[in-house]
Amino acid sequence: MWLLGKMLGRLIRKGQLIVTDHDGREYRYGDPASSPLRIRLTDSKAAWHIARDPRIGTGEAYMDGRLVIEPPHDVRDFILFVMSQGDGGAVRSTNPLRRLADRIGSVLDQNNYRARARQNVEHHYDLNRRFYELFLDADRQYTMALWRDPNGTLEQAQIEKKALIAAKLRIEPGQRVLDIGSGWGGFALFLHRHYGCEVLGVSLAPDQVQFAQERAAAAGVADKVKFQLIDYRDVTDTFDRIASVGMFEHVGLRNYDEYFAKCFDLLKPNGVMLTHTIGRLKGNGGTDQWNRKYIFPGHYLPKISQMAAALENTGWEIADLEVMRYHYAHTLAEWYRRTTANRAEIEAMFDARFFRMWQFYLAGAEQGFRHGQLVNFQFLSTRRRDALPMTRDWIEREAARLVAAEAKLSA
């Protein structure tokens, strides 16, 4: 407990944290006048497991039931409390060799050749159809929602997100669109519904592709909205528009030039591409060891400068860039709420350890957007400068039209 206590003593400056060790002894950190958040360690080795490498040790201790957050608080309260103490960076190991090994591991983890890229995607996205239904919106949008009203519903916020991206693409009837990382097909169907365009969605997640194909068939548009289990690098046709929403995080830094060069070749000369991704305002974008091991192997979160350099290197012009703050924090908080509300079904589907792992992932990600360096970027890129209007006023106008049109369809 000594090493963990030393670390917490330096960290906790706001509020109060009370730690009850396995032997019943209590340790208090922070402001003694504040209402405390209480945690309990259930075995003699838990404190050392956390202290030697907080990034992975805390998550594993919670997953294994060795770290218990006492009611009325839960793991989300604990993570947001701890990470609000400093500059928003993750709590790091004090061992420089361990930090170096973590950086090396992050670099090696990004070797996303074709076979490994498919394995990485299947690890996360092919868990279970029903599982994702329990915490996503009805359209299964598994990316940031756009909260024009912070008190609104997740379903409405996801419609706002789809409308904004569609508006930025400035699609014209009859055009062909490539949707890279098409998920469960909702965005591709949205585009066809409002523009009558042909859409090809590509993904490496078998169950997602199958489900999206089923949706297109049920809507009677399978001849216009198609989904293929294929790596984007193996697509050979050309398109008027390309959308990449929530896929770029899986590309890996060393593959950025290859990615944008391939997309450049897939786009017609007067085409437009939108890339929507989680990104970092600064710092190293390597994913920490816990997330690499349990959630997103092969993951890397870019800085603007890294994306911009790759776009410039491969012939693109950047036509528009929007940095979107806090929207994902609201989204993750709602996913966490829905996950927790469905605890019994999730534990029956998997087990209690999986449920706690998912809680820790969602709460940890939320803190990155609330207190850390995480935001979302939307890059619009073109091959020709005259592919889009000189001003941005068409974007909000068209997005509002699409939202209104969706409301009429559901009325």
pLDDT at 55 over 50: yes
Report d(CA 187, CA 146) in Å as an integer. 14
* Tally: H helices and E strands in the chain: 17, 11
- Cis omega (within 30 of 0) for bond into 72: yes
Q: What is the Cα 234 distance to its own chain's centre? A: 25
Report d(CA 136, CA 392) in Å as an integer. 31
Report d(CA 146, CA 154) in Å as an integer. 9
In this prediction, residue 118 carries a pLDDT of 56
pLDDT tens digits along 64-120: 999 999 999 999 999 999 998 875 444 444 444 444 444 444 444 445 555 555 565
* Mean pLDDT, residues 370-383 taken together: 96
pLDDT at 263 over 50: yes
3-state SS, residue 23: coil
Report d(CA 149, CA 205) in Å as an integer. 32
Q: Are 315 and 264 in contact (CB under 8 A)?
A: yes
Query: What band does 153 get if pLDDT is binned at 50, 70 and 90?
Result: very high
In this prediction, residue 411 carries a pLDDT of 80
pLDDT at 24 over 80: yes
Is the CATH number 1.10.10.60 carried by domain 114-410? no
In this prediction, residue 292 carries a pLDDT of 87
The residues with which 245 forms a beta bridge, in sequence order, are 276
Report d(CA 170, CA 77) in Å as an integer. 41
In this prediction, residue 111 carries a pLDDT of 57
* Mean pLDDT, residues 325-334 taken together: 97
- Read out DSSP for 58-97? HHHHHHTTSEEEPTT--HHHHHHHHHTSSSSPPP--S-HH
Q: Are 241 and 179 in contact (CB under 8 A)?
A: no
Query: What band does 169 get if pLDDT is binned at 50, 70 and 90?
Result: very high
> Which residue type is seen at 4?
L
In this prediction, residue 107 carries a pLDDT of 47
pLDDT tens digits along 171-182: 998 999 999 999
pLDDT at 287 over 80: no
pLDDT tens digits along 199-218: 999 999 999 999 999 999 99
Report d(CA 218, CA 348) in Å as an integer. 30
Give the total residue count for the chain: 411
pLDDT at 305 over 90: yes
| Nearest by Cα to 179 from 157, 211, 153, 203 | 203
Task: State the chain's mean pLDDT as an integer.
Answer: 91
- Read out DSSP for 195-235? H--EEEEEES-HHHHHHHHHHHHHTT-TTTEEEEE--GGG-
**Tokens 């706002």 sit on residue:** 160
> Which residue type is seen at 253?
L
pLDDT at 283 over 50: yes
Question: What values do phi and psi take at 11, rounded to 5?
Answer: -80, -50
pLDDT at 41 over 70: yes
Q: What is the DSSP letter of 111?
A: -
Question: What values do phi and psi take at 8, rounded to 5?
Answer: -70, -35
What are 292's two structure tokens?
A: 């690499």
* Mean pLDDT, residues 293-318 taken together: 93
Query: What band does 8 get if pLDDT is binned at 50, 70 and 90?
Result: very high
Query: What band does 56 get if pLDDT is binned at 50, 70 and 90?
Result: very high
In this prediction, residue 116 carries a pLDDT of 55
Query: What band does 197 get if pLDDT is binned at 50, 70 and 90?
Result: very high
Task: Tell me what percent of the residues of the chain surpass a pLDDT of 70.
Answer: 90
- Give the pTM: 0.91
